[in-house]
Amino acid sequence: MNWNCTLVEGNLSDFLEGALSAEESAGFSAHSRSCPACAEMVEQVSALMGGMRRVQAPEVPPRLVKKILDATLGPQPARQGWRRWFTWAPAIWETRFAMGVGTVAASFLIVFHAVGGPSGAPQKLDLSPVHIVHAANRQAHLTFARGAKFVSDLRVVYQIESQLRPEPEMEVPAPAVEQLERPTPKPETEPEQERKPDSKDPSSTTPPSTRDLEQSSPRENQEQAGAAGRMVLAVLRIQPVNHARSLS
């Protein structure tokens, strides 16, 4: 059989449903590979059939069954007594009803957990209004205290970091740079006192730079670490955090 575009179009459904013989399928495929128009058509129809298999059936209106029963068997007598309160019962089997019930239950669970409901097996006492209000009040205070503690901790950390951060190097004007590059005789009298005034003064809170720490001796390092520790304590004294009071 000489496969052309007309034959491919006429046998497209048979090919996609696997109704062609092996020889016919080979001829069909060979032509589809060589003909872009047929290849596109095969791809589109194949995708369409796959999509239609997944399409959901239209939702039947809830009252349609009752209308059909009324039209065939005649109007049903109105339910008497307690049964008339359960005319909505058939709607329970609707998919939308089940989804709505699930959503409401999930919302209740989330709210119950947010107000501090017990994580374990619930007891009868947990459902009393007084207990629920008390638990919600406690959960709100706990949340507030945790937030306040977090903010205070952040503030302390930032203050310590800002104190320990090495100062940015001062920009030296161009003439000064030239002056530094030239070999100049070292001053003999005051350099030591000018360069390290803080290392000999333990009461000073000025933090040493990283370069100073690297170049200083072990004794100087101890003194500088002591100064940093005192500085940290001073910062902590500035911002006291009394978690016990905030939680009570």
Partner 1 sequence: MQRHTRRVYGLCYRFTGNAAESEDLSQEVFLRIYRTLASYQPSYGAFPTWLTSVTRNILVDNYRRKRRERLTDSIEETLPQVEKRPSPERSPDRLALDAELSEQLQQGLAQLSPELREAVILRDLQGHEYAEMQLILQSPAGTVKSRINRGRIELARVLKEMGVGPA
Residues that bind partner 1 (CB under 8 A): 9-14, 41, 43-45, 47-58, 60-61, 64-65, 67-68, 71-72, 93
Rounded Cα distance, 231 and 196, in Å: 18
Q: Using CA atoms of 106, 107, 108, 109 in order, give the dihedral in degrees to the nearest 10.
A: 50
Q: How far is CA 219 from CA 92, 200, 233, in A?
A: 82, 11, 21
Minimum CB distance to partner 1, residue 49 (Å):
6
Which of 45, 136 has the CB closer to partner 1? 45
Angle (CA) 195 201 204, round 5°: 95
Task: Provide the minimum distance between the beta carbon of 38 and partner 1 in the complex, in angstroms, as a whole number.
Answer: 11
Measured between alpha carbons, how far is 23 from 125 in angstroms, rounded to an integer?
77
Residues 6+ away with beta carbon under 8 Å from 91: 62, 97
Nearer to partner 1 by Cβ, of 67 and 195: the residue is: 67
Query: Smallest distance from the beta carbon of 36 to partner 1, in angstroms?
Result: 14
In this complex, which beta carbon is closest to partner 1, that of residue 11 or of residue 32? 11
Residue closer to partner 1 by CB (options 52, 130) is 52
The Cα 116–Cα 33 span in angstroms is 65
**Closer by beta carbon to partner 1, 13 or else 222:** 13
Shortest distance, position 46 Cβ to partner 1, whole Å: 8
Q: Which is nearer to partner 1, 68 or 140 (CB)?
A: 68
Q: How far is the CB of 246 from partner 1 (least distance, A)?
A: 50
CB 68 to partner 1: min, Å: 5
Q: Tokens 């590979």 map to which residue? A: 33
Question: Cα dihedral sign for 126, 127, 131, 132?
Answer: positive
Query: Which distant-in-sequence residues (6+ apart) come within 8 Å of 102 by Cβ?
Result: none
